[in-house]
Homo-oligomer: A and B are copies of this chain.
Amino acid sequence: MMTRRKQLSEAMKASIRDAAAALFAEKGYPSVTMREIAKAAGCSHTAIYLYYNSKEELLQQIAIPSLLQLEQRLLELRGRREAVPEDRLLAVCEQYVVFCLTSGSLQTVLFMSGSVRVDDPSPELEVNVIRIRLFTHISQMLHETVTGASEAPDRESAAAIDNGRMLFYYLQGFISTYTGHLEPTAELLERTLPILRQGILTLVRGMKQN
């Protein structure tokens, strides 16, 4: 059966994954060493390479599930039709930003290093596929908020895409400004989230005037 062996092996792999996820979130991807992960997972650093081919692949494997989880949360927020579009957009943007900041430069590193255009038709990394979907969700919500239409445009107008890009630049700037700060994230968010919201509303106000 080989069951006990496989079981232990699976447990080791999971232990490595969890330890790495916690460390990446806590200290940021570049600052975490393979030996550190190994110690936290209870194995030698070479054992990690039995399950993951490289540090980068380990990051990807960890990032994908939590990215999908983020997407689910965004979709759930988007579906709350009892709230006005503006509030839904704010909630979604906030969720996105908080996610990027609390995952301790994990996602940011991913997004930065990808060097993939958000409108790239054939991205190679799965993480970028998900990212583009996130961009689409937020863009469509923005379009609804700006035009007042309750549905996404059947054919994505150029203006809608441009508006989405502007909002994304803004969010990305907010995130990259505060990524890697030493200040505790909770404190940081309390201090800066009002400005984030204000900026989004300012952008939306400006877009509505077109």
Contacts and interface: CB of A to CB of B under 8 A. Distances in A.
A182 B207 CA distance: 31
A65 interface: no
Contacts of A201: 206
A173 to B, nearest CB: 3
A162 B202 CA distance: 11
A-side interface mostly: helix
Q: How many copies does the complex hold?
A: 2
A182 B181 CA distance: 27
Place the interface of chain A in its size category: 20 to 34
B169 A174 contact: yes
A99 interface: no
Contacts of A52: none
Interface centre among A175, A179, A203 (most CB of B within 10 A): A203
Interface of A: 112-113, 115, 162, 165-166, 168-177, 179-182, 195, 198-199, 201-207, 209-210
Give the 5 A-B residue pairs with the shortest CB-CB distance, closest first.
A173-B173, A206-B206, A202-B206, A172-B173, A169-B173
